[in-house]
Amino acid sequence: MIIALKQGTGGEEAERFASAMEKRGLTVHVSRGETQTVLGLVGDTSSLDPEAIAAHHLVAKVMRVQEPYKRANRLFHPEDTRIDVAAPGGVHGIGGGRLGIIAGPCSVESGEQISAVAAAVKAAGAGFLRGGAFKPRTSPYSFQGMGCEGIDMLCAAKKETGLPLVSELMEIHQLEVFDNVDIIQVGARNMQNFNLLKELGRCGKPVLLKRGLASTVTELLMAAEYIMAGGNEKVILCERGIRTFETFSRNTLDISAVPYLKQKTHLPVIVDPSHATGIAGLVPAAAKAAVAAGADGLIIEVHNDPENALSDGEQSLTPEAFSDLMKTLKKYADLEGKTVS
Ligand code: PEP
Ligand code: MN
Q: Domain coordinates of the chain in residue numbers? A: 2-63, 83-340
What average pLDDT score do residues 85-102 get?
Answer: 95
Q: Would you tell me how many other CB atoms lie within 10 Å of the CB of residue 139?
A: 7
pLDDT(174) > 90: yes
Q: What is the mean pLDDT of residues 65-79?
A: 93
**Burial (0-12, 13-18, 19+ Cβ within 10 Å), 317:** buried
CATH homologous superfamily, domain 2-63: Phospho-2-dehydro-3-deoxyheptonate aldolase; domain 1 (3.30.70.1140)
Predicted model pTM = 0.93
The CATH number, out of the four listed (3.20.20.70, 3.40.50.300, 3.30.465.10, 3.40.1000.10), of the domain defined by the range 83-340: 3.20.20.70
Which of 213, 240, 252, 270 maximizes ligand 1 atoms within 8 Å of its Cβ, making it the mutation to test the pocket? Answer: 240
Ligand closest to Cα of 191 equals 1
- Between helix 319-335 and helix 111-124 the angle, nearest 10°, is 30
| Distance (Å) from CA 316 to ligand 2 centroid | 9
What 217-220 contacts at long range (C-beta under 8 Å, 24+ apart), as own/partner pairs, is: 217/254, 217/257, 217/260, 217/261, 217/264, 218/67, 218/68, 218/69, 219/191, 219/192, 220/191, 220/261
Question: Cα(230) to centroid of ligand 1, in Å?
Answer: 24
CA distance 129 to 106: 11
Alpha carbon of 135 to ligand 1 centroid (Å): 8
Q: CA 212 to CA 152: how far, in whole Å?
A: 28
Give the ligand whose atoms come closest to the C-alpha of residue 314.
2
Check residue 203 and give its pLDDT: 94
User: Which ligand is closest to the CA of 278, given by its number?
Assistant: 2
Where does the chain show beta strands of DSSP type E?
2-5, 27-32, 37-42, 59-63, 83-87, 90-94, 98-104, 128-130, 165-168, 183-186, 207-210, 235-239, 269-271, 297-301, 339-340
Q: Which of 294, 244, 250 is nearest to 269 (CA)?
A: 294
How many C-beta atoms surround the C-beta of residue 10 within 10 A? Answer: 11
Decide if pLDDT at 338 tops 90. yes
Question: What is the rounded average pLDDT of the residues 169-194?
Answer: 97
Q: What pLDDT shows up at residue 66? A: 86
Pocket lining for ligand 1, CB < 6 angstroms: 106, 132, 136, 187-189, 210, 240, 272, 275
CA distance between the termini of the chain: 41
Query: In this predicted structure, what is the pLDDT of residue 248?
Result: 98
- Nearest atom of ligand 1 to the alpha carbon of 132: 3
Residue nearest to atom 2 of ligand 1 (CA): 106
Distance in angstroms (rounded) separating the CA atoms of residues 11 and 35: 11
Atom 1 of ligand 1, residue of closest alpha carbon: 106
Tell me how far apart the alpha carbons of residues 286 and 290 are, in angstroms, rounded to a whole number. Answer: 6
pLDDT at 153: 98
Q: Which ligand is nearest to the CA of 251?
A: 1
Question: What digits encode the pLDDT tens for the residues 132-147?
Answer: 999 999 999 999 999 9
Atom of ligand 1 nearest to the CA of 272: 9
Residue 241 CA: which ligand 1 atom is closest? Answer: 9
pLDDT at 45: 87
pLDDT at 44: 85
Whole-angstrom distance, CA of residue 135 vs CA of residue 145: 5
Q: In whole angstroms, what is the distance from residue 97 CA to residue 253 CA?
A: 23
Which residue from 107, 143, 167, 168 has its CB within 8 A of the most atoms of ligand 1, so it is best to mutate?
168
Each residue of 21-67: pLDDT tens digit?
A: 999 999 999 999 888 899 999 988 888 899 999 999 999 999 998 89
In the reported structure, the alpha carbon of residue 317 is separated from the centroid of ligand 2 by a whole-number distance in angstroms of 12
Which residue's alpha carbon is nearest to atom 3 within ligand 1?
A: 106
Ligand 1, atom 10, residue with closest C-alpha: 188
Model confidence pLDDT, tens digit, residues 277-309? 999 999 999 999 999 999 999 999 999 999 999
Q: For residue 339, how many other CB atoms are within 10 A of its CB?
A: 13
DSSP string for residues in 168-220:
E--SGGGGGG-TT-SEEEE-GGGTT-HHHHHHHHTS-S-EEEEPPTT--HHHH
What is the β-pairing status of strands 207-210 and 83-87?
Answer: unpaired
Strands 59-63 and 83-87 turn out to be unpaired
